[in-house]
Structure 1
Amino acid sequence: DLRPHFAALAGLLFAVHPVHTEAVTGIVGRADVLACIFFLLSLLAYHGQPKCHIWISITVGALSMFAKETGVTVLLLNLAYDFYLHWSSIRWSLTEMKCNREAVGFASRAAKILTSLAVLLALRLAILQGSLPRFSQQDNPAAFHPSFYVRILTFCYLAAFNWWLLLCPVTLSHDWQMGSIPLVTTINDSRNMMTILMFGITFLLTLRCLQDFESQKHTPMVLGLMLLIIPFLPAANLLVTVGFVVAERVLYIPSLGSIVLTVYGIQILWYSWTSQRQTIACFVVLLLATGCMRTIARNRDWRSRESLLRAGLTTLPQNAKMHYNYGNFLRDTNKFELAKAHYYTALKLWPSYASAHNNLGTLLNYSHEAEHHFLEAIKHSSDHVNAHYNLGQLYRKMNRTADSEVMLRRCISLEPTFTPAYIELAKLQDNDLRIIKLLKRVLELNPNDPYFCTAFGYWLFKKGLYEESLRHYYRSLQLSPTYKEAFIGVARVLRKLGQSSRLFQLITRWQLIHRNSSNEIKLSHVYLLGWSLRSELTSKAKAYDVYYEFGSSYDDTEGTENCSLKTKWSKQKKNKTSSRSSKGEERIRTTKYVSPFIVHHLLDSL
């Protein structure tokens, strides 16, 4: 067994291993951390007590699986390690054809483990609705290569590459897809040397562990090899096809085995080479210091989206997806020219990258080149919903109505819940009944979104259907009582219907809501400006100035006659004390009450 000091060293090495950075800092990787916690608890429940708590171990193992699918391998690990510990009794029982107590106990535990494993796998498959996840060639190019020979060579090399990341985590990246690791297509590829070396060492370790089944003098080596291999099997593309080339987060649990083997080797050297203990101690300190520095540096890469993408481009400039993601970041930060350059680079590295074609097309300002990229995206990914939608938008801008309608309807057939396509399609219709049908479909898809209720209400208002419009505006207010656009819509309708008292109640309600929440509103619309700017009779001079500054800058006012209003303001300004207002003030306090004067002014301005 590992001595206490070396067990502590194993814990320290696990804590500073740089390959854990993605699992700890990334949100997706937290599932691997949680799975590892349950994994170890299951292992302890099975082997960490004098009495095996098998059902507790199985239950905690199930929790590990629900956190991350690879967690279910703890059941196989428990069974394999149990087989190793009781090998003498099992061998005697098989040789003598007699059942002893330990062999029967192992058989009982094995039956429970295997039955539970089958049930858990069936349950996990049922959660996936009876089918495994489907991935594209971009996710795992080797899995889609037609040659079995190339697939085997590449998968074996990827296993060796993961092993190398555990031993020497110098080259780390959050994404290893799309050209990061080229396929191994020939036996003459130099990378096959690493594959041969890794499998050779693994084979020798396995032989040494099999020899130890009798003497059981090197238990940490056996357990370390099991921890290294068994949890990694689901990610090895042997049983199922995975959706990644290399993922550092899946090495979180296998790294336990790598560290146990390393520390056990150091322990053997410590007690074998007593004269070289100082050298071994220096090596251990150097190993810990290197791990700390690399982990700190890697954590800095994960500080922000930009720093992570920049680090990825530095490590893997040949990764098309890295350029695509960095282009997305630049687009989001309004650096469109740089974004285009990285999209072009991504397409140069991976010409069939549909998403890069689509995103590049959105930056080309509805040109014929944009049409080309949208068509290329659809060519390489016929079910690309966004490409169909963007091409439909482009055709509408180019007045190619028929082509636009074809693309939008195809978009809807691919994704019946894609709301923007219905809205764009409604813009193309000249029949009100068709438009109403499409907009009602939008409301069905988004029943709890006040934006779409308000938009439909505004369309009805423009068509003169005031009662129906008012009903949708009120529905929007039910969903979001503070939604300003809905208040404005209700004000429009009530003004058209001449319902001044209800409009007064609406303004009072708006005022109370904002006074009880933030006690201030933005100067953004005349329907709210009309009563907000004229907050008190003592501040009419300020309101008068703001009226001249903002009063004519809105297109929603219809038939406003301001002459009499200005006269009233001028007369009252002479009789009241003006309050001093600062220019450039963006927010104002709401009033404590709504005076009749304010309501009169609002109705007159509306």
Structure 2
Amino acid sequence: MLEADSSCFKWNQEKRYLWTSVLFGGLSMLAKETGITVFPLNLVFDMYLSWPSIKEAIYEAKWSKETQQFTSRSFKILASLGLLLCARLALLQGSLPKFSPQDNPTAFHPSFAVRFLTFCYLAAFNWWLLLCPATLSHDWQMGSIPLVTSVTDSRNLVTFLFFICALLLVIRSLMDFESQKHSPLVLGLLLLVIPFIPATNLLVTVGFVVAERVLYIPSLGCILLVVYGMKILWNTYPRNRPTLNGLIAFLIVMSSLRTVVRNRDWRSRESLLRSGLSILPHNAKMHYNYANFLRDSSSVELARMHYKRALKLWPTYASAYNNLGTLLANESEAESHFLSAIHYSSDHINAHYNLGQLYRKLNRTSEATYMLKRCIKLDPTFTLAYLELARLKGSSDLSVGPLLEQVVSVNSDDSYYILLYAHWLLSKGRRHSALIFYSKALSVNPSYQPALLGTLRVLKKLGQSSRLFQLQNRFYSLNRQRRGEIQLPHTFLEDLQIKSELIGKARLYDGHVSDSKDKRNATSPNISSKYSSLLSSYCEKSNKKPATTGEVKSLTKPSKSNLTIQKSSTFCLV
């Protein structure tokens, strides 16, 4: 009875371990795709531990309880793996990411021999990074590691040594399936190999040459193998234990120092980029990223130099052509660089936009219009192209309305763009439509003063005095809150205070009007009419919007301080 209870408890405990492993495997997959490899890793290691019963079932046709439990666990793991893969593909909208030759030059090389030799060397290079992380970089794209184009390349010797060591470990692990005396060796090899398989380009093409982030799980296997190897040496050669102690201390000290140095590299953007350039001076993307940093730091000449260096290392680098074009004062040279960017990357939206900006500046209206429409065709959500096309047409053109309406539909949660369309509607005399969009801007941001002032302006023209007074109370309350003034405890007292302020401002305004040469005849001393005149003057001057961050990086951020459609020469960078 006790034996049955113990067996049942052990079975339930194994089930909890299994589903806990599935849960954490799914969470790791959401963090990084390589997390999905823990499922085949668990399956293979479980097969290793259950090999005696599996072997008995295969050769002697005996289906034991252990074999049944292994089959059940395997089915659950494979089913969980399938479901998680489907979920991951659903997150990717049913298609795998697409990469370009600059992301992974080896995968796009036409020669199979070059691809094979280079991929094999990259596996050995990653193994060496685990053992000796001397050369670390945050980016290994674009020719960071030259292709292995010949069998006589000296790097093939490193590849050969690596695969010999790997083959010996595999043979030793397979031999241990029978005795199962070296389970740390088997587990270490599985941790080293299986999680690295997705990065080998065997299953799918990846978007990197080397990525240190995919070595997190393999590093566990490397540590386990090193520690287990030292344990074997410790037990086999007791006389050499002082030497082993010195070697362990040396590894700990060197790894700690390397960690300290690498942490310093990550202290700032500049230090990280400088470190990458010192490690990979032949990496075009390193020069490109450093040029972007120099551009942001207003070091224009140095930025141009590094952009040109990036183009020299990678002549088809479209983004480098585009960004360099934004720094050139010569308009013909800038046009040439934008055209080169479009030539090497026909769907480069920012290059089309920048070229449209340049053509507008040169009064080449038809070409500018074509480029901006091309931007919208490439990306219907590219807001800057809509706005620039509206500026190009001019606010008097009725076709501007649909453009601004599209901007509002794309940016339905941005009160600025809604306000821009409302202003345009008001300028065309469509007051009721303008009021709707002013109200929509206030629903997005209730404390947005330009939208509040625009609403007041429309209500004044529509003659809705009661709503006008309510909103003016709200306007003054917002101003008091921003100035940190104490709010009055009763609404009636607050309204009375506002009336007093309005009377004083209206009298002051009447005094200025009476002193001017083009003085108009004041027909009514009504507070509301005087405030409305004052408000109209204030509204024309108060067209400001709080600074917001955008997805598109630019050399000079498009100003939102002016809510009318004006011409702009802002270039869009990558």
Shorter chain as normaliser: what TM range?
Answer: 0.7 to 0.9
What secondary structure sits across from 1:138 in the alignment? coil
CA gap 1:454/1:101 in 2 versus in 1, 3 angstroms: closer
CA gap 1:116/1:447 in 2 versus in 1, 3 angstroms: closer
Q: Output the CA distance in 2 between the equivalents of 1:603 and 1:133.
A: 54
Q: Give 1:85's aligned residue.
A: 49
Alignment partner of 1:444 is 2:409: yes
Q: 1:323 aligns with which of 259, 279, 287?
A: 287
Structure 1 residue 484, shift from structure 2 partner: 3.3
What secondary structure sits across from 1:433 in the alignment? coil
Q: Give 1:338's aligned residue.
A: 302
Contact 1:560–1:604 under 8 Å retained in 2: no
Q: 1:203 aligns with which of 163, 167, 173?
A: 167
What secondary structure sits across from 2:398 in the alignment? helix
Alignment partner of 1:177 is 2:128: no
Question: Within 5 A, what are the aligned runs for 1:333-412?
Answer: 333-365=297-329, 367-412=331-376
Alignment partner of 1:156 is 2:107: no
Q: Give 1:482's aligned residue.
A: 447
Contact 1:93–1:100 under 8 Å retained in 2: yes
Q: Output the CA distance in 2 between the equivalents of 1:604 and 1:361.
A: 43
Question: Within 5 A, what are the aligned runs for 1:450-599?
Answer: 450-490=415-455, 506-517=471-482, 519=484, 564=515
Structure 1 residue 513, shift from structure 2 partner: 1.3
> Which digits, 9 at most, give the CA deviation of each residue in 1:207-257, with x for residues without a partner?
111122222221111110111001111111111111111111111111000
> Which digits, 9 at most, give the CA deviation of each residue in 1:130-187, with x for residues without a partner?
3211111111111111111111111111111110100000100110001211111111
Structure 1 residue 392, shift from structure 2 partner: 1.0
Structure 1 residue 329, shift from structure 2 partner: 2.0
Between 400-409 and 119-128, the greater mean CA deviation after superposition: 119-128
Q: Output the CA distance in 1 between the equivalents of 2:59 and 2:225.
A: 32
Q: Output the CA distance in 2 between the equivalents of 1:560 and 1:170.
A: 78
Contact 2:425–2:433 under 8 Å retained in 1: yes
What secondary structure sits across from 2:145 in the alignment? coil
Structure 1 residue runs of 5 or longer lacking an equivalent are 1-45, 521-534, 541-546, 552-558, 567-594
CA gap 1:49/1:257 in 2 versus in 1, 3 angstroms: farther
Q: Give 1:109's aligned residue.
A: 73
> Which digits, 9 at most, give the CA deviation of each residue in 1:20-71, with x for residues without a partner?
xxxxxxxxxxxxxxxxxxxxxxxxxx99977774344333323332332211
Q: Give 1:166's aligned residue.
A: 130
Q: Which amino acid aligns with 2:277?
A: L
Contact 1:378–1:387 under 8 Å retained in 2: yes
Q: Output the CA distance in 1 between the equivalents of 2:316 and 2:449.
A: 45
CA gap 1:596/1:414 in 2 versus in 1, 3 angstroms: closer
Between 440-449 and 390-399, the greater mean CA deviation after superposition: 440-449
Contact 1:565–1:601 under 8 Å retained in 2: no
Contact 1:366–1:397 under 8 Å retained in 2: no
CA gap 1:51/1:134 in 2 versus in 1, 3 angstroms: closer
What secondary structure sits across from 1:252 in the alignment? helix
CA gap 1:72/1:48 in 2 versus in 1, 3 angstroms: farther
CA gap 1:417/1:596 in 2 versus in 1, 3 angstroms: closer
Q: Which amino acid aligns with 1:311?
A: S
Contact 2:191–2:217 under 8 Å retained in 1: yes
Question: Within 5 A, what are the aligned runs for 1:213-292?
Answer: 213-292=177-256
Q: Which amino acid aligns with 1:450?
A: S
> Which digits, 9 at most, give the CA deviation of each residue in 1:504-559, with x for residues without a partner?
65444223113224528xxxxxxxxxxxxxx999x99xxxxxx9xxx9xxxxxxx9
Q: Which amino acid aligns with 2:50?
A: H
Question: Within 5 A, what are the aligned runs for 1:184-199?
Answer: 184-199=148-163
Q: Give 1:301's aligned residue.
A: 265
Question: Within 5 A, what are the aligned runs for 1:41-52?
Answer: none
Between 104-113 and 265-274, the greater mean CA deviation after superposition: 104-113
**Percent of aligned pairs with the same amino acid:** 59
CA gap 1:604/1:481 in 2 versus in 1, 3 angstroms: closer
Q: Give 2:521's aligned residue.
A: none
CA gap 1:287/1:353 in 2 versus in 1, 3 angstroms: same
Q: Output the CA distance in 2 between the equivalents of 1:285 and 1:448.
A: 58
Q: 2:101 aligns with which of 137, 144, 152?
A: 137
C-alpha RMSD over aligned residues: 3.3
Q: Which amino acid aligns with 1:441?
A: Q
Between 254-263 and 306-315, the greater mean CA deviation after superposition: 306-315
Q: Output the CA distance in 1 between the equivalents of 2:268 and 2:397.
A: 48
What secondary structure sits across from 1:399 in the alignment? coil
CA gap 1:90/1:472 in 2 versus in 1, 3 angstroms: closer
Contact 1:561–1:605 under 8 Å retained in 2: no
Between 114-123 and 140-149, the greater mean CA deviation after superposition: 114-123
Q: 1:119 aligns with which of 56, 78, 83?
A: 83
Between 186-195 and 493-502, the greater mean CA deviation after superposition: 493-502
Q: Output the CA distance in 1 between the equivalents of 2:62 and 2:464.
A: 97
Contact 1:419–1:445 under 8 Å retained in 2: yes
Structure 1 residue 420, shift from structure 2 partner: 1.2
Structure 1 residue 444, shift from structure 2 partner: 1.5
Q: Output the CA distance in 1 between the equivalents of 2:193 and 2:11.
A: 19
Q: Output the CA distance in 2 between the equivalents of 1:108 and 1:475.
A: 57
Q: Output the CA distance in 2 between the equivalents of 1:498 and 1:113.
A: 71
What secondary structure sits across from 2:146 in the alignment? coil
> Which digits, 9 at most, give the CA deviation of each residue in 1:90-124, with x for residues without a partner?
22332323333333332333233233323332332
Q: Output the CA distance in 2 between the equivalents of 1:294 and 1:240.
A: 33
- TM-score, normalised to structure 2, is 0.80
Contact 2:401–2:424 under 8 Å retained in 1: no
What is the total number of aligned residue pairs between the two structures? 502
Q: Give 2:542's aligned residue.
A: none
CA gap 1:518/1:212 in 2 versus in 1, 3 angstroms: farther
Higher relative contact order (CA closer than 8 Å, sequence separation 6+): 1
Q: Give 2:111's aligned residue.
A: 147
Alignment partner of 1:425 is 2:389: yes
Q: Output the CA distance in 2 between the equivalents of 1:48 and 1:286.
A: 45
Q: Output the CA distance in 1 between the equivalents of 2:532 and 2:420.
A: 28
Q: 1:212 aligns with which of 167, 176, 196?
A: 176
Q: Output the CA distance in 2 between the equivalents of 1:462 and 1:228.
A: 68
Q: Give 1:64's aligned residue.
A: 28
What secondary structure sits across from 1:432 in the alignment? coil
Contact 2:25–2:39 under 8 Å retained in 1: yes
Q: Output the CA distance in 2 between the equivalents of 1:403 and 1:605.
A: 39
CA gap 1:118/1:508 in 2 versus in 1, 3 angstroms: closer
What secondary structure sits across from 1:250 in the alignment? helix
Q: Which amino acid aligns with 2:419?
A: T
Between 129-138 and 362-371, the greater mean CA deviation after superposition: 362-371
Contact 1:374–1:391 under 8 Å retained in 2: yes
Q: Which amino acid aligns with 1:84?
A: Y
CA gap 1:561/1:294 in 2 versus in 1, 3 angstroms: same
> Which digits, 9 at most, give the CA deviation of each residue in 1:479-505, with x for residues without a partner?
222223334544655677788886665
Q: Output the CA distance in 1 between the equivalents of 2:158 and 2:370.
A: 53
CA gap 1:603/1:212 in 2 versus in 1, 3 angstroms: closer
